[in-house]
Amino acid sequence: MEEKPLRNTEHLRRVFEVTLNRVLLTWKELQTKKKRVSGKIHNTFKAGSYSVPVSEIVAVRETEVDSRTKDDGRWQKMSQKPSEAYPYAFTVSCVERASRHRWRCSDVTFHCTDGLVCQQWVQTIREQLSLLTCRPKHLLVYINPYGGKQQGKRIYEEKVAPLFSRASVSTDVIVTEHANHAREHLKTEAELKKYDGVVCVGGDGMFSEVIHGLITRTQRDCGVDQDSAEERLVPCGLRIGIIPAGSTDCICYATVGINDPVTSALHIIVGDSQPLDVCSVHHNNTFLKYSVSLLGYGFYGDVLADSERKRWMGPARYDFSGVKTFLTHNYYEGTVSFLPATDVLGSPRDKTVCTTGCYVCQRNGQLLSEANQDYRVDEDASDSECDGDWRVIRGKFLAINAASMSCACPRSPKGLSPSAHLADGTTDLILVRKCSRINFLRHLLRHTSKDDQFDLDFVEVHRVRKFRFTPRHCESDADLQLDLREGGAGKRLFSQICRDHPACGCTPIYSSWNCDGEILPHAAIQVGVHSQLIQLFARGIEEKPVFEDAGVPCVA
Ligand SMILES: CCCCCCCCCCCCC/C=C/[C@@H](O)[C@H](COP(=O)(O)O)NC(=O)CCCCCCCCCCCCCCC
Ligand SMILES: Nc1ncnc2c1ncn2[C@@H]1O[C@H](COP(=O)(O)OP(=O)(O)O)[C@@H](O)[C@H]1O
Ligand SMILES: [Ca+2]
């Protein structure tokens, strides 16, 4: 569609030629006003050409102009104001990129002389939008009113719902009444066929509930046994949107680049898709949990366990428990076995970052679906040896972290594993061995700076497809015999007593796993990565916003 001239109120007195094709809405300036300053003629405005991709238009509507009113269904001029020359107008709401991955919804209003032409523009743009089949029309929304600073409901009502209604996205909203409400509703009751996606308003824990509900439901519907660690899981059909309203919100931050409810709502409206790897966690052929961000034993497990008792402090509980856990300086003994991902592009220290349309994720996803590999755990793998493809490391660890994504968050803007990928079918296994407090602090501080947190001799990182952890006290009978000969039984018993009575100050023998912010009380676990099992309404981290704070969506 082509029409000229139209006038854009952002630039009053400027006349534009506006064109629309399947991809772009463009407006080019037709004339500029000249101004005489100190005897020289200057252009008052910079001539420009502006465009917005149709895929980033949120909505279009006819706009009332002051100088006219409706009478008997016809538009009429009411006064002789300057707007009388262009009494008809329509407004296009579209995505505008601000700084640091923030998106805003910005309005551009076009004025024209003819009411029919104006209506035609609105209708044509709406038709173009209706061709965008990736956009969700009907969403199921879960709000955790107690997440983060307990602002979930307000955030949704004030910042998100108005955008959804402007974009004609309808919703069924459920404000959760108790923990696991969303998970159980998704698992059993929700009429999933009615929806194009599920939105969760809350933190990582709330997101965890939603994926558990959706993944479990999908496997049950497809006859897949979740308890079998070797089963190939069936991908979920519904995309998930995250409106950040929790304490860390690392899944949102690492997939969008910012924790901002408006930005997330816009990614949902434009129908973005970002595949995500999911780790399944088992113990002795019993399914325990899924994880998409951090599985952390030792430091992060202890921080979480301690912070849960201080929920009343809000997000600050993590800082409090972080310092306390740091000072406590517990280490845990055990064996980590893992299957390195040797056949993939990328490595945890290659300094690359997973970005929108990531080639590494695409290529590795493709390789995996072609290969349909089958890896098995070798139970006889021995201490510090390579056995088959599996490697085994035994030791004393301050932290064992598996980061399936960078785990970037406002506390750590590059994350626990800055080069981890969202959808490459692997997780980065980070082993922090027992070291001094000062060395551990050096490692932690590097989460907040540009320095490489893995460049320390007590830290190692491996990109893996599967791993398992066995705490020392759970090790095989042979280990137990050896331990008894070394007089370990007394220590073991003592440790168990100390775990039950922490006041004695002895190091406990178990930690628990921090699984996307939920506590997993089991210590011995077996983990496998399921490549691209779920899809988010996100697009990963955009490399560089082309024009930051430009004031108009995009300059052609
Ligand atoms: C000295 C400064 C050290 C700063 C280290 C910051 C590391 C932050 C890494 C954060 C990783 C986040 C992984 C995501 C976990 C979330 O799934 C999960 C749940 O999120 P939700 O509440 O939104 O549901 N969040 C968490 O588990 C929170 C982890 C936060 C850990 C904070 C640790 C602070 C450590 C402070 C040590 C200070 C030592 C001071 C010495 C005097
Ligand atoms: N209505 C509710 N009442 C209490 N707990 C809830 C409710 N809805 C969800 N939860 C639980 O709250 C926990 C924390 O939620 P989350 O949204 O992640 O906030 P935060 O980031 O502050 O931890 C999750 O374990 C979730 O299962
Ligand atoms: Ca990954």
Q: pLDDT tens across 441-452, in order?
A: 999 999 998 889
Closest ligand 2 atom, residue 152 Cα? 17
Q: Is 519 in the pocket of ligand 1 (CB under 6 A)?
A: no
Average model confidence (pLDDT) across the chain: 83
- Together in a domain, 445 and 528: yes
In a domain, residue 551? The reply is no
| Amino acid (one-letter) located at 168 | S
Highest mean pLDDT among 10-19, 262-271, 492-501: 262-271
The boundaries of the domain holding residue 440 are: 277-373+388-484+494-532
Mutating to test ligand 1, I would choose from 259, 300, 439 the residue with most ligand atoms within 8 A of its C-beta, which is: 300
475 in a domain, yes or no?
yes
Query: Are 309 and 437 part of one and the same domain?
Result: yes
Q: Do residues 42 and 96 both lie within one domain?
A: yes
The number of the ligand nearest the C-alpha atom of 448 reads 1
Cα(322) to centroid of ligand 1, in Å?
7
Question: Does residue 325 sit in the same domain as residue 233?
Answer: no
CATH number for the domain harbouring residue 175? 3.40.50.10330
**What was the pLDDT predicted at 65?**
79
- 31 and 83 share one domain: yes
Residues paired with residue 140 on neighbouring β-strands, in sequence order = 172, 198
pLDDT of residue 554: 35
Cα 468 to ligand 3 centroid, rounded to whole Å: 17
Decide whether any atom of ligand 2 lies within 6 Å of the 517 Cβ.
yes
- For residue 467, pLDDT beyond 90: yes
CA of 318 to the centre of ligand 1 (A): 6
In the listed set 84, 110, 130, which residue is the last one of a domain according to the structure? 130
Mean pLDDT (whole number) for 456-479 = 83
Domain-terminating residue out of 130, 147, 162: 130
Say if ligand 2 is within 6 A of residue 246 CB.
yes
- Number of domains, the chain: 3
Burial 148-183 (b: 16+ CB within 10 A, else e): beeebbebbeebbbebbeebebebebeebeeeebbb
**Which ligand does the CA of 213 lie closest to?**
2
Provide the token pair at 501.
């009575």
- Does position 361 have pLDDT exceeding 70, yes or no? yes
Q: Tell me if 547 is assigned to some domain.
A: no
> What ligand 2 atom has the least distance to the C-alpha of 205?
18
pLDDT computed for residue 47 by the predictor: 63
Q: Is 322 a pocket residue for ligand 1 (Cβ < 6 Å)?
A: yes
Same domain, residue pair 51 and 171: no
> Which atom of ligand 1 is found nearest the CA of 517?
19
pLDDT of residue 211 exceeding 60: yes
Report the nearest atom of ligand 2 relative to the CA of 207.
18
Whether residue 294 has its Cβ less than 6 Å from ligand 1:
yes
CA angle 155, 217, 404 (to 5 degrees): 65
Q: Look up the CATH number of the domain holding residue 305.
A: 2.60.200.40
Q: Tell me the pLDDT band of 28, cut-offs 50, 70 and 90.
A: confident
Q: Do 245 and 331 lie in a common domain?
A: no
pLDDT over 90, % of the chain = 61
pLDDT of residue 556: 28
User: 425 CA to middle of ligand 3, Å?
Assistant: 5
Residue 546 lies in a domain: no
Whether residue 355 sits in one domain with residue 244: no
Q: Closest ligand 2 atom to the C-alpha of 144? A: 8
Does residue 225 belong to any structural domain of this protein? yes
**CA 153 to centroid of ligand 3, rounded, Å:** 31
Position 387, amino acid: D
pLDDT at 530: 95
Mean pLDDT of 50-69: 83
Task: Give residue 346's pLDDT.
Answer: 87
47-51, 189-193, 322-326, 474-478: range with lowest mean pLDDT: 474-478
Does the beta carbon of 74 lie inside 6 Å of ligand 2? no
Most confident of 12-26, 115-129, 293-307, 476-490: 293-307
Please tell me which residue in 204, 277, 424, 516 is annotated as part of the active site.
204
To test the ligand 2 pocket, which listed residue (142, 146, 201, 409) has its Cβ within 8 A of the most ligand atoms?
146
Give residue 442's pLDDT.
94
User: What is the per-residue burial (b if ≥16 Cβ within 10 Å, else e) of 225-247?
Assistant: ebeebeeebeebbbbbbbbbbbb
Q: What is the pLDDT of residue 352?
A: 92
Higher pLDDT, 4 or 530: 530
The reply to whether ligand 1 has any atom less than 6 angstroms from the CB of 318 is yes
CA of 52 to the centre of ligand 3 (A): 32
Comparing 52-56, 61-65, 177-181, 405-409, the range with the smallest average pLDDT is 61-65
Domain assignment present for residue 537? The answer is no
For 2-16, 260-274, 361-375, which range has the lowest pLDDT when averaged over its residues?
Answer: 2-16
- Residue 556 counted as domain residue: no
Q: Measured between alpha carbons, how far is residue 543 from residues 175, 353, 441, 450 in Å? A: 35, 9, 31, 18
Judge if 86 and 199 occupy the same domain.
no
The residue contributing the CA closest to ligand 2 atom 13 is 205
Q: Check whether 302 has a pLDDT greater than 90.
A: yes
Of the three residues 130, 159, 182, the one that is the final residue of a domain is 130
433 occurs within a structural domain: yes
Question: In sequence order, what are the residues at sequence separation of 6 or more whose Cβ sits closer than 8 angstroms to the Cβ of residue 340?
Answer: 389, 391, 462, 463, 464, 465
| CATH code of residue 48 | 2.30.29.30
Shared domain for 174 and 212, answered yes or no, is yes
pLDDT (tens digit, 9 = 90+) per residue, 322-359?
Answer: 999 999 999 999 999 999 998 888 899 999 999 999 99
Active site residue 227: no
Shared domain check, 284 and 218: no
Q: State in Å: Cα 313 to ligand 2 middle.
A: 14
288 vs 276, 482, 519, CA distance in Å?
19, 31, 11
The reply to whether 334 and 410 lie within a common domain is: yes
For residue 117, give every residue at least 6 positions away whose Cβ sits within 8 Å of its Cβ, in sequence order, or none.
3, 88
The pair of three-digit structure tokens given for residue 445, joined into one six-digit string? 């501080």
